[in-house]
Structure 1
Amino acid sequence: MYGRSADLQKTRFSNETQTPSPAVIAASPYGDVFVGLDLQGSLGKKINMGSIKRLRDNDNDGVAEEVSHYVSVDNPRGIVSIGNKLIVLHCTQKDGKVYGQDISVFTDANDDGVADGPGKVLVKGIGNPKFIQSRGADHCTNNIRLGIDGWLYISVGDFGFVDAEGTDGKKLTCYGGGVARVRPDGTELEMFIHGTRNVYDVAIDPFMNVFSRENTNDGVGWWVRFTHYIQSGEYGYPCLYKNFIDEMIPALGMYGGGSGTGALFLQEPSWPAKYNNKALMADWGRSQIIIHEVTPDGPSFTNEPKKFLEVPQVADLDVDASGRMYVAAWAGAGYQGSSSKGYVERYVPVGWQYKEFPSLTKNSNDQLLDLINSESATARVYAQQEILRRNDTSMSNDLIKLAYSANTLEARVAAVYTLAQLAKASAFPALEKLAKDPLLREHAIRLLGDRKSFNQSANIKVVVQYLNDSNPRVRVAASVALGRMNNVAAAKELLAMAIAPKSKAAPKDENADQVSKFTSEKVDPNNSLVDIEFDISEFKSLTLTIDSLDWDTGDHAAWVNPVVVLKNGKEIDLTKVKWQEAKGSWGKTLVNKDCQGNALQNLKGEALKGIGTHATSNIVYTLPQDAVTFKAQGTITKGASSSASFKFIVSEKIKKEGPVKSGTKCSNPNPDMIVPHVARQALVNLGAHDLVIDALNSGDSKLQKSALGVMKFMHHKKVIDALEGAYNQANSQLKKDIISTLMRLQQKDVDWDGSTWWSTRPDPTGPYFEPSNWEQSTRIAGIIKLHLASLSASEKAVALKAVEKNRCNLDGKVKVADAKPKKLGDIKIADSAIEDIVIYIDKNKGDAKKGAQIINTVGCISCHNTAPGMTVKGPDLSKLSHLSKADLAESIIKPGASIAKSWVNLSLKDGSVYMGTIVKESKSEIILHNIAGVPRKIATSQVEKRESGLNMMSVHLTDGLSLQQFTDLIAYLQSFSEK
């Protein structure tokens, strides 16, 4: 793991009394650290519970000596420091209650660490009042980050917003999640991308690549996905990523459970190369900062995640221009905040030397240009802001020269972006010339179309010529730019680019040449065995792997009746053979027992013969030379979640670590589809109806295919007229394609007014979240029904499946929701987000008597103490009554989050590892009880490493409980008295 003491020096920059519940953090280039405190967390709905503190480390010892109260704001969610101004995303108040969200700018002209007065609103209403009031701020608009292109990028949770308004009066609505952007003065508010779940922050590199580690809901759980956001792109949540994957840009990878929070692209020359020029992504759920190393792949990237730092419930991170990194740790402050938990850490490389960053306002123009030529991304972006503040257009020629001569490509690009912002439309001739340089071309072309407020004066022909550039990144930039220039002159060229490639297959397994894969889908308890037989005649060794796929922490599984068949037909029973190695993600690998040491049984409680383990797991055997076949059955075992699914893999080598390989194409990079995608988006943005109609009527099959692909997104009478007319003249194949397009157009998504939210488990069926009729729906239904009547029985059956997939409403009736929706309290824990669970138990009363029965049914008693005098095994549940409902819930759903701090892994110098509860500890000795309550004395001198142990409690232990039953369990745990 990265980030060991040999590499980095860590200090506690501020403690829990100075900065409790730190939700967001931002550093000025000089090292002033602004921390947004949210004492009510993500689910609180009170007012006057938030503030921003300014921290200063005057002697550079890594500890803040000066802490000032900068300003009070509700739910601070994003901070950007520019000069003596602080731009803040925060909640607002109305009628004494928390309301929506604004982006405001505050000023501290005298540098006393206190805002001079109320903030000026830059963007009004960029949050959803209804759900912030009813639920809290957990899916609200989340963070802001400044790019070298001068835009503030705004991470929008899936509450969305309606009619947010900038200082120029421009309004914007976002249905669901995405990334919006606005100029730092509050003008030109617009969407950048759409189709995310609850993105908290983005990392932006010096070449304006925008990355995020956010989570989504793939219908099974909340899995982290790492994504490259390309302007105008649609990222598919929740309506496309299940059944309409070819219409969205996929993620770069999906990595199991987690909760992405703050993000930073680090480029500071004082940092070692293995950390520098990397996307650093915080994951609150995993308490880690993870480096995602990206490698160019056409217009996008592939990536490899690596653990960087472990920080308890890390919320955010930032860096100053001297290379000091600041990290906000939520550290157990809970879903409703805490006044006594949370802190800020500072990290610097070992051997790092402090170098004061110069005062930008005192620098000459030449000195500012030198900073643009810096190797520090932080220095470049803030030097740019000072140049723009001065608005001295005489610097334009110097910036042009720097664009050709700077020391690094990053600095050259920074000069180009600074020129474009300083000179605005006057920069266009220079940008056209800079576009001739292949290294600067994508940026110059992008900037010709970047600002809608004046891009109409750019030469569209210059942009069009680069649609056929050999570099796919340039083709993307040209397509996006043309879609923003409000000129359909290039529509024909865009249409030629918009022909979608064939769907890319799911990724090939790294062991595919020698692995047989068997996947147990959502398990039917009555049919849970998977037959396995595989040729191993070329193997020298045998590895049996159970891959947990997307399941967050795996589950209990087994190889049933595993045998190796020899050439002579003799069978070797592997339950009687000693393996070379056996590793599972938790518990043990045992013969005829499950990973907890219980008798091996299936879900129905029937005895099994085989090898029990906990996925993901590997069991390695040495094979005799005459081994030819492996045979077994794969199954999940009693104690596992009924939602679990696995892939049973037979191979010669252990499966490599890597992203979740579930065959999910929504997280399978597909660079070939990006250019067609953004070209399609450009045509839709331009409203190029006439052009696509002409293409449909052209007789050119390629153009017709492209036109129909674009028309799917054009709910316009003119388009329906053209489709109906073309249908009547078309051959049989074209008729099918036209009907397919009409099926997609028969419904549209609801005209959203902010009054609904799809909750934490939305219906991913698609193509619309809430399909509704529009003025052409009845007409389209008639065309489709006539087509269906003309088909044979087999053809009609296929067509009806497409009708169902597109959720067409052919009878004209408005769909009515179930009149008897399921009671909230009856919903299972397995089907609920942890936030939903916390909200329910907070609002509803539990029955402690019922909880006393439930604690036996879920098996807590076998591992925990509930009364004085019991043998100490796991954490003592009778001592937890002082904990809040939220902390208890989190500790059960996410074991070890708030309790079980005494549960540890002790690695000894002889290589042995012991797991259990520390019952007593002195300078010389530790007494550890294992899960059976058996004590072990360990000499302190023999301990090599101590780590928080993975809680032995199954993370799916309570999946089968309803919300109300879980509330009863919590009531029981809180009923114990301290006596």
Structure 2
Amino acid sequence: MKFSCSFFLALAFLALACKTEIPKSDYADLDEAQKRQIAHALESMQVADGLEVSLFAAEPMVMNPTNIAVDALGRVWVCEALNYRLPYNDKFEKHEEGDRILMLEDTDGDGRADARTVFYQGPDLLAPLGIAVLGDKVYVSSSPTLQVFTDTDGDNRADIRDTLFITEGGRDHDHGLHSMTFGPDGRLYFNFGNEVHGLKDKKGNYILDQEGNPIHTNGKPYRQGMALRCNRDGSNVEVLGHNFRNPYELAVDAFGNVWQSDNDDDGNRGTHINFLLEYGNYGYTDEMTGAGWRTRRIGWDPEIPVRHWHQNDPGSIPVLRYNYAGSPTGLAFYEGHLLPEAFQNQMIHCEALKNEVRAYPVSVAGAGYTADSLVILKSKDQWFRPSDVAVAPDGSLLISDWYDGGVGGHRMEDAQQGRIYRVAPKTDHYQIGTPDLEDAEGLKAAFLSPNQDLFFQASRQLEAGSASDEILQALWKEGDDVARARSLWLLARKAEDPAAYIQAALQEEDERFRVLGIRLTRQLAPEQLTTVISFLIEDPSPAVRREAAIALRYIGTPEAAELWAGLARRYDGKDRWYLEALGLGSDKYPNMYLSAFDADMGENALDEAAKNIYWRMRSTGSIAKMAEFIKDPEVSEADAARYFRAFHFKPGEGRNETIAGLLELDHPLAAQINSYALSAIDAEYLAVNSALQARIKQLLPDLKGTPEWLEAVQKMSLKQELPALLAMYHETDDRALANEAVNTYMDLGGVQQVAEAFHSAENDQEKLAVIREYGAVQNDGLVRLWARLLDKDQKSFPVNNALVNALGNGWTGQHLLYDRVREGKLQGNLKTAAVLHLMRCWDPEVRAAAPTFLTSSEGKGGILPPVARLVEMKGNVASGKTVFTNICATCHKIGEEGTEFGPNLSQIGGKLAKGALYSAILYPSAGINFGYEGYLVKTKQGGVFSGYKEGETEEEITLRMMGGISQVISRQDISGIEPMDQSLMTANLQAIMEQQELVDLVEYLSGL
């Protein structure tokens, strides 16, 4: 690639700026433009005690870095994403040459990059999300490919390009394929977000997992995002976990523990850190059906983050640590000694929303962990968006900064900036020598390096020759914990028979080595697993027994079943990590393993620990146990709900019959049990069982007003319950439940009753009361009733205006209004009211045409100043809150105010800078938050529903519609589903706001 003189002048200026002392200023006194300047970058930074931060590189040397790696020579490799989501960021020009992989180098050792090489650039590289440099191979994750580059001639440019994997989906999407990392077991670890739907080899064939299943997210068995592991050549791919949303990066420590962060549905305070139990389900959607976390279910948690990750469901792995609001990105595990002790042997994590880089010190908690948070680096500059962290050979941290006003939602405020920072006790020196891997001391130092590439190269060399055994033996006998763990992995892999090393690990006092011993057995001597586990049944460590339980997953012999029962006997009834490990270990042979447990427990089969085990088991034998526990007159309501929810995860054989047998019990909780039973019975079973329907009808009067009562009315189309449905609509505080009730009411004959009420009204006030009562309801029959009433001329303006507003609340009504405006049937203020609704229609044709129907006096917009000028204007927070209440609260929530339709804005000030807030309001389709993409669902009955998918199963789709309404649509009724290319958010809001109102609104939002 050729560069102009101006580029080199810019680099020279950057180098000068980095080396020259900048007079300190008060960062708070800088204007927005000054805060963006490189000269003030470090003034915004706060760093942990004992550490310094320096600017290693910045624009124009590097722009939009998404992921980094540091090689054995200390050079920083960077994925750039200048072409990221250009259809949503059309103010930026496309770089036709494609995105780039850069190599940045500090040639004079002063801690600042002064040389840049373009390792690779090509149109096939589109917004790459991951890079790993391991020896002579460079692994680049850029959906739909994971490519492996090789530099054969040493000029630091790619000569050979090969494809390791192909993804189905994920192209140009930050929920795509993420980076590789090297584990101490010699294997590669990687993950992908939930925009990837399958993994294939380079010939396009689906990769098969360890069980022979195609790796696909169709629910058979996997859902959503995944964590995986494979050999260095891409063979033997294993799925380590699934049902994530968007895990950005994996980190593996010396003992083989796998750590990961995951993102929530934006605004729901559910971002978190995971410790991976292998083969686990991590709860983003319903494991069995794929339904979204908002879908009503028995026993869900009142706390949104807990509900979000299905933590009350058997089979959902516990969350290690909730970070609540956030935007989690890069992750590393620090095994160096340069940083202060508090950060050693801990996760180091980038949190882009909070403008922080953190460590998460973990503490053992039973079979799992708890974690605290320590800030390493924080910026007062809201544009600081740390995207990744990597460890250099000297133990310092290199941190990439996407540097942008926004984070998430596929939006960019800037495509020309980006920074790389370095954190160390002293940052004025950065000189990494060439490692001498031919020298014993050099090889040992490289093997113990916290740097991935150096560790990889040393591992490969130590693995290759027998002469290296002396080094490894010395480390195993005399090294620190990390050295001993790393050397043990390699010694066992090299040994013709690893049994001696496995036994040595199992006899260690430190439980981490005993866990490692089990992992070595699984990898190198699986035929010895039952022998090894028999040695550990009574181990005092829950973590060791956890690992032993998981290791029994694929054995399925009577001996394995007895061992599992022995491990289950040691469960204390409280440790959820241990319980889920038992479940993972038994899921492939649940009936066999449970039978051994039953025989082992005897009269203790009803203690709390045993009840929890039966709750978690996926066996037919556990179905009767749930019924037995529910029938206990001393069962609590919370436990009864848990046991009923567990039926959802049990095999189908005998399940519905057992649930039906729980109806009409003589029990202190009879009403609740009847309710839960109605909810738990499958609709298909109920439809063909008339005797059961008759029993249920007798129970309904006592259950009125409950979600379970509503389910029964829906399943059996009980028109006689219309008055009760209407009462439920009026009386319940649960808006989602009220919407379900009123839609059921309309479908069963309520539309005719509304028409009769309107026609029998004696005056306008009574007519307006009818419209106000049902105007927000998005039911196709009702909406068409409003349109028929509007077409009649004998009504007053207030009544007609109310009908226009009722029609303007949804897709079908807006199109009916559009037809009438085009045909000239609406004039004057009625036309203006209709057009304002059309301006927020999700149909791009309607939305684009709407302003043409307004005269200049009918709008408030005018020509706004550029965003750069708007940012400098001061607004009034109190007035902005009023604007939010009047305009935005119909779709968004802040705290307890508003409607849960669009993203929750309670933390939006930390996520978007002022410029990004203006762009989000003025150009909503430029960045659509993932998970809020719009869809049109057309039904065979002629209905059209629009919204975003809140949940999706094989039987139905749940749309979240305007007004915070959840609409459940049976797939049998659907004639078509179309994705929308425009945002669901109202465009042209400036047409209904004064300029100062817009400024006030942004002032209010930016302070949240």
* Residue 490 of structure 2: aligned partner: 418
* Residue 479 of structure 1: aligned partner: 549
Q: 1:673 aligns with which of 556, 576, 594?
A: 576
Deviation at 1:683, TM superposition (A): 1.3
Identity within the alignment, %? 18
Deviation at 1:216, TM superposition (A): 2.7
Distance 1:487 1:160, change over 3 A: farther
* Residue 378 of structure 2: aligned partner: 310
AA at the equivalent of 1:212: Q
AA at the equivalent of 1:399: L
Equivalent positions of 1:396-407 (< 5 A) are: 396=469, 398-406=471-479
Distance (Å, rounded) in 2 between the aligned partners of 1:150 and 1:843: 57
Distance (Å, rounded) in 1 between the aligned partners of 2:855 and 2:57: 41
Q: Is the 8 A contact 2:173 2:195 kept in 1?
A: no
Equivalent positions of 1:364-375 (< 5 A) are: 364=439, 367-372=442-447, 374=448
* Residue 363 of structure 2: aligned partner: 295
Distance (Å, rounded) in 1 between the aligned partners of 2:633 and 2:467: 59
Q: Is the 8 A contact 2:257 2:276 kept in 1?
A: yes
The alignment covers a number of residue pairs equal to 675
Once the two structures are superposed, residues 450-506 of structure 1 have per-residue CA deviations (whole angstroms, 9 ceiling, x without a partner) of: 32xx533335212222132112222223223333556552222223433696876xx
1:803 correspondence with 2:677: yes
* Residue 417 of structure 2: aligned partner: 341
Deviation at 1:694, TM superposition (A): 4.9
1:968 correspondence with 2:871: no
Deviation at 1:50, TM superposition (A): 2.8
Distance (Å, rounded) in 2 between the aligned partners of 1:851 and 1:468: 82
Q: Is the 8 A contact 2:859 2:991 kept in 1?
A: no
Structure 1 stretch displaced more, 47-56 or 672-681:
47-56
* Residue 505 of structure 2: aligned partner: 434
1:54 correspondence with 2:127: no
AA at the equivalent of 2:663: L
AA at the equivalent of 1:143: S
Once the two structures are superposed, residues 817-871 of structure 1 have per-residue CA deviations (whole angstroms, 9 ceiling, x without a partner) of: 99969958999xxxxxxxxx999999965967999999999xx99xx99899x98
Q: Is the 8 A contact 1:35 1:53 kept in 2?
A: yes
AA at the equivalent of 1:356: I
Deviation at 1:194, TM superposition (A): 3.2
Q: CA RMSD in A?
A: 5.2
Distance (Å, rounded) in 1 between the aligned partners of 2:130 and 2:841: 25
Once the two structures are superposed, residues 367-388 of structure 1 have per-residue CA deviations (whole angstroms, 9 ceiling, x without a partner) of: 424543x474658733543336
Deviation at 1:678, TM superposition (A): 0.8
Q: 1:123 aligns with which of 152, 165, 168?
A: 165
Structure 1 stretch displaced more, 889-898 or 241-250:
889-898
SS at match of 2:399: strand
Q: 1:102 aligns with which of 145, 150, 164?
A: 145
Distance (Å, rounded) in 2 between the aligned partners of 1:691 and 1:489: 10
Distance (Å, rounded) in 2 between the aligned partners of 1:117 and 1:838: 50
Once the two structures are superposed, residues 394-426 of structure 1 have per-residue CA deviations (whole angstroms, 9 ceiling, x without a partner) of: 5446534431222x1110111011223334x63
Deviation at 1:682, TM superposition (A): 0.9
Distance (Å, rounded) in 2 between the aligned partners of 1:396 and 1:838: 70
Q: 2:526 aligns with which of 456, 481, 495?
A: 456
Distance (Å, rounded) in 1 between the aligned partners of 2:846 and 2:246: 24
Equivalent positions of 1:196-215 (< 5 A) are: 196-215=244-263
| Higher helix proportion | 2
Deviation at 1:36, TM superposition (A): 0.8
1:386 correspondence with 2:386: no
Q: 2:114 aligns with which of 65, 68, 71?
A: 65
Deviation at 1:107, TM superposition (A): 0.7
SS at match of 1:402: helix
Deviation at 1:222, TM superposition (A): 3.3
1:782 correspondence with 2:657: yes
Distance (Å, rounded) in 2 between the aligned partners of 1:317 and 1:826: 50
1:466 correspondence with 2:536: yes
SS at match of 2:286: coil
Distance 1:874 1:164, change over 3 A: same
AA at the equivalent of 1:57: D
Q: Is the 8 A contact 1:30 1:357 kept in 2?
A: yes
SS at match of 2:373: strand
AA at the equivalent of 1:187: S
Q: Is the 8 A contact 1:441 1:474 kept in 2?
A: no
Q: 1:185 aligns with which of 233, 248, 252?
A: 233
SS at match of 1:781: helix
SS at match of 2:477: helix
Once the two structures are superposed, residues 664-696 of structure 1 have per-residue CA deviations (whole angstroms, 9 ceiling, x without a partner) of: xxxxxxxx22223212211114x2532323544
Q: 1:150 aligns with which of 156, 179, 186?
A: 186
Q: Is the 8 A contact 1:480 1:682 kept in 2?
A: yes
* Residue 6 of structure 2: aligned partner: none
Q: 2:174 aligns with which of 138, 141, 148?
A: 138
Q: 2:268 aligns with which of 198, 218, 221?
A: 221
| TM-score, length of structure 2 as denominator length | 0.57
Deviation at 1:340, TM superposition (A): 1.1
Question: What are the ranges of 5 or more consecutive residues in structure 2 without an aligned counterpart?
Answer: 1-43, 89-93, 217-221, 288-305, 689-713, 716-739, 744-777, 781-808, 815-839, 881-902, 918-961, 966-981, 997-1008
* Residue 111 of structure 1: aligned partner: 154
Q: Is the 8 A contact 2:627 2:658 kept in 1?
A: no
Q: Is the 8 A contact 1:865 1:876 kept in 2?
A: no
1:691 correspondence with 2:762: no
Once the two structures are superposed, residues 269-326 of structure 1 have per-residue CA deviations (whole angstroms, 9 ceiling, x without a partner) of: 2333344443221111111112222233333333221322135011111121123422
SS at match of 2:329: strand
AA at the equivalent of 1:313: R
Once the two structures are superposed, residues 618-642 of structure 1 have per-residue CA deviations (whole angstroms, 9 ceiling, x without a partner) of: xxxxxxxxxxxxxxxxxxxxxxxxx
Distance (Å, rounded) in 2 between the aligned partners of 1:176 and 1:974: 43
SS at match of 2:138: strand
Q: Is the 8 A contact 1:25 1:34 kept in 2?
A: yes
Distance (Å, rounded) in 2 between the aligned partners of 1:217 and 1:299: 28
Q: Is the 8 A contact 1:826 1:963 kept in 2?
A: no
AA at the equivalent of 2:285: P
Deviation at 1:875, TM superposition (A): 15
Deviation at 1:225, TM superposition (A): 2.1
Distance (Å, rounded) in 2 between the aligned partners of 1:178 and 1:491: 29
Q: Is the 8 A contact 1:57 1:66 kept in 2?
A: yes
Q: Is the 8 A contact 2:138 2:150 kept in 1?
A: yes
AA at the equivalent of 1:792: D
Question: What are the ranges of 5 or more consecutive residues in structure 1 without an aligned counterpart?
Answer: 92-100, 505-671, 749-766, 768-775, 828-836, 878-888, 904-957
AA at the equivalent of 2:674: L
Distance 1:41 1:967, change over 3 A: same
Distance (Å, rounded) in 2 between the aligned partners of 1:398 and 1:838: 70
Distance (Å, rounded) in 2 between the aligned partners of 1:351 and 1:344: 13
Equivalent positions of 1:941-960 (< 5 A) are: none
Deviation at 1:328, TM superposition (A): 1.2
* Residue 285 of structure 2: aligned partner: 238
* Residue 33 of structure 1: aligned partner: 76
Q: Is the 8 A contact 1:445 1:477 kept in 2?
A: no
AA at the equivalent of 1:56: E
Distance (Å, rounded) in 2 between the aligned partners of 1:290 and 1:175: 29
Q: Is the 8 A contact 1:266 1:277 kept in 2?
A: yes
| Higher strand proportion | 1
